[in-house]
Amino acid sequence: MPVAVYLHLPFCRRLCPFCDFFKKVPRQGDLAKISKLLLSELSATLVRERSFASGPLISVYFGGGTPSLHPPEQIERLLNAVSQVGDVHSVEVTLEANPGTLSFDALSQLRQAGINRLSLGCQSFSDRKLHLLYRDHTANETRETVKNARMAGFTNISMDLIFGLPGESEDEWRNDIDMLLACKPDHVSLYNLEYHEKTPYGRWLTQGVLEPLAEDFEAELYLLTHDTLEREGYEHYEVSNFARDGFRSVHNQVYWEGKPYLGIGPSAHSFDGVARRFANVADLHDYERRVTAGESPVEREWLNSEREQWEEWISVRLRRKEGIDWADCHDTWGGMRARGLWAAATALPVHLREVTESVFRLSPEGWFVENEVLVNLYEKV
């Protein structure tokens, strides 16, 4: 079956206090060790999970953590190992990178190894915001990395920006967008700062150390970004993602379209494209122990109930600009459910959605309050 492969490389130079991904600061030898463990896990998994091994391959994604901390040779070995699933040289292969972690030579090596898309975690061009986020790079390093990546032959560069930090003004955010546009990325991922419970930011919020922005103002910044980037030729094709023509993220669309993906590495998740999901252990020692002993690192495996599948089917489609197609909904879930969904959609405030006979989609205003919209819909469908 067609499958996307995700490889989780969990090490970061320092830990950003807002981040809730599984990550660690590496000790001597950790980078080489984890890349070998991922190689072992991948080979063993492709034997154990035969349906994921037959391909064709849809895309490859090196996420983390900060995969760009790894020497290019380690990334190349991992990518070559993914060739067991399908031809890595004919699909989108993304590497997440942080500014200041890759020299021109390293970028050239990665490009030659088959990485053809760079996802750059620049987050902001404001010194104040970079400091507040505990980032260990500067705006100049971001510009330098983009310039070097272009010279090294990268024709597909995505950049991440984060908004909604305490004390953020409209001018500060406008400046971030202007600086981003000056870098001419092909794709932009936009993040609204979240205060995850188990992160330092979550604790600082509870303790009153951080004062969040008003939600209305965050919505203004989100809509400002939508208007500005669309005007500059970027299609707002998903809640948090913008792309120039032809540069939508293939890998992320796998998640949004409910296609199968195989996750390798500590904490990585996998999905068979129907109902079965499994998740690797999110603990480095346990991960190492299991993989070294030839055991599966899968800690949890579950089947989504029919109800969960229905809710997920709705939520992933509403994330996308295309929304939900009536015929698709009717054919997949039957007339009663389709009619119920359309009735619930029509009852939503008009500025949040567009509903016609053939399509139901959210407006940018609707996207900003997507979670509330979904809760409302789930109660009715």
Question: CB-wise, 12 or 348, nearer to ligand SF4?
Answer: 12
**By CB under 6 A, is residue 121 in contact with ligand SF4?**
yes
Of the candidate spans 64-72, 146-154, 258-266, 372-380, the one that interacts with ligand SF4 by CB under 6 A turns out to be 64-72
Instruction: Identify the CA nearest to 364 among candidates 262, 219, 218.
Output: 219
- What are the Cα distances from residue 309, in Å, to 48, 246, 277? 25, 30, 12
- Map residues 334-373 to x or -, x wherever contact with ligand SF4 holds by CB under 6 A: ----------------------------------------
Of the candidate spans 17-25, 87-95, 236-244, 260-268, the one that interacts with ligand SF4 by CB under 6 A turns out to be 17-25
Sheet bearing 235-238, strands edge to edge: 235-238, 241-243, 187-192, 157-163, 117-123, 92-97, 57-64, 3-9, 261-264, 269-271, 276-280, 298-303
Rounded CA separation 180/243 (Å): 13
80 φ/ψ sector (left φ>0, alpha ψ -120 to 50, else beta)? alpha
CB of 235 to ligand SF4, least distance (A): 26
CB of 110 to ligand SF4, least distance (A): 18
Identify the residue among 1, 2, 15, 191 touching ligand SF4 (CB under 6 A): 15
CB of 24 to ligand SF4, least distance (A): 9
CB of 267 to ligand SF4, least distance (A): 11
Question: CB-wise, 22 or 242, nearer to ligand SF4?
Answer: 22
**By CB under 6 A, is residue 8 in contact with ligand SF4?**
no
Rounded CA separation 116/79 (Å): 12
Tokens standing for residue 214: 């008003």
**By CB under 6 A, is residue 16 in contact with ligand SF4?**
yes
Instruction: Please state whether the peptide bond connecting residue 233 to the residue before it is cis, i.e. omega within 30 degrees of 0.
Output: no
Identify the residue among 19, 219, 279, 369 touching ligand SF4 (CB under 6 A): 19
**By CB under 6 A, is residue 120 in contact with ligand SF4?**
no
81-110: contacts with ligand SF4 (CB under 6 A): 98
Q: Are 239 and 364 in contact (CB under 8 A)?
A: no
**By CB under 6 A, is residue 23 in contact with ligand SF4?**
yes
Residues in the chain: 381
CB of 296 to ligand SF4, least distance (A): 25
Number of helices (H), then strands (E), in the chain = 16, 15
Q: Are 323 and 361 in contact (CB under 8 A)?
A: yes
CB of 281 to ligand SF4, least distance (A): 18
Residues that bind ligand SF4 (CB under 6 A): 12, 15-16, 19, 21, 23, 64-66, 98, 121
